[in-house]
Amino acid sequence: MKVVEQIKQPIAYEMDLFEQKFQLSMASKVALLNRITHYIVNRKGKQMRPMFVFLVAKMVSNGEVSERTYRGASVIELIHTATLVHDDVVDDSNRRRGFFSVNALWKNKIAVLIGDYLLSKGLLLSIDNNDFDLLKIISIAVREMSEGELLQIEKARKLDITEVVYYEIIRQKTATLIAACCSLGAASVKPESQHVETMRKFGELIGMAFQIKDDLFDYGDAQIGKPTGIDIKEQKMTLPLIYVLNQASKKDKNWLINSIKNHNKNTKRVKEVIAFVKHNGGLDYAVAKMKEFQTEALELIKTYPDSKYKNSLELMVNYVIDRKK
């Protein structure tokens, strides 16, 4: 059995029911909207985010979920999908998960409006049901994701990212959404309890490990949907590169910065940068940091009683850093 299927097993019933509720939450009277949202739903990914919501809810409440849990999972998926649709417009990307993106098929204007529609649907789902605590969690996540993206753009222009700034960028850009999934799961069944903050921290740590793993793919040889060296070509400063820059001699540092600033489209030069980072311990350092976040996350759920939901969450944490794509 695939790892993802194994993780999903204890919440298979909830995930099936969630799919139905999620499709209903997207419905509209406009035929074009329904056609596009149907296209999006049928090309969904692994659905890790709703899985986090249900597994956390069940772990902290001895196997219970509520209607609020389903709404929390739907809100997070609606808003996450909205950000992906908008991202594809911003990045001028024509593919998403191997299929044509919304903007490739229906052009940018429609894609932006679809993103706005999904965002408003998510907000109204919470407001109409007085889930203001859940709405606050997701709204903070959206704000932080936007700030993280802008901070990365600002720093990429100067290439002056320190390790501390890098962690802040990935915390906001990636970890904050997984943190929101986990705190939503806890808040949906145990509102205003200590579990909400503990699970937020748990999700944040997983998100940090997840992003470092993603950064490591840039230096690998596996076919994972994004070409090797793409981060360097896009002048994204990731942890392996930041570490090596901080350790390098003045001459090597100048060569690295010059390569990234002025020769990032030169395939040979990009390969040389990748080789330099590997040779000077950048990957080993990043792997060690990723494992620190993983260990901290697992430590946080140690105190919870043993259950199949806790086992699945532990599997999920390990899957994040062992995955091949």
Percent of the chain with pLDDT over 90: 46
Q: What is the DSSP string of 172-192?
A: IIIIHHHHHHHHHHHHHHSTT
Question: pLDDT tens, 237-286?
Answer: 889 999 998 888 889 988 988 888 888 788 888 888 888 999 999 999 99
Question: pLDDT tens, 70-116?
Answer: 999 999 988 888 887 777 777 666 666 566 677 766 777 787 888 88
State the pTM of this model.
0.88
Residue-level pLDDT at 105:
67
List Cα–Cα distances, 142 to 78, 173, 245, 299, 315, in angstroms: 12, 9, 31, 27, 27
Which of the 8 DSSP states describes residue 64? -
More confident residue, 201 or 3: 201
Rounded distance between C-alpha atoms, residue 161 and residue 260, angstroms: 13
Q: What is the DSSP string of 94-130?
A: -EETTEE-HHHHHHHHHHHHHHHHHHHHHHHHHHHTT
Rounded distance between C-alpha atoms, residue 202 and residue 197, angstroms: 9
Rounded distance between C-alpha atoms, residue 11 and residue 198, angstroms: 21
More confident residue, 303 or 227: 303
Q: 2-16, 86-100, 138-152, 199-213: which has the minimum mean pLDDT? A: 86-100
More confident residue, 43 or 293: 293
pLDDT reading at 145 higher than 80: yes
- Please name the helix (run of DSSP H) or strand (run of DSSP E) that holds residue 200, with its range, or none: helix 194-217
Q: Is 236 helix (H, G, I), strand (E, B) or coil?
A: coil
Label residues 37-54 b or e (16+ Cβ within 10 Å = b): beebeeeeeebbbbbbbb
Residue-level pLDDT at 228:
62
Percent of the chain with pLDDT over 70: 91
Look at residues 215, 316, 229 and name the one whose alpha carbon lies nearest to residue 272: 229
pLDDT reading at 222 higher than 70: no
Structure tokens at 225: 């949907």
More confident residue, 178 or 87: 178
pLDDT reading at 178 higher than 50: yes
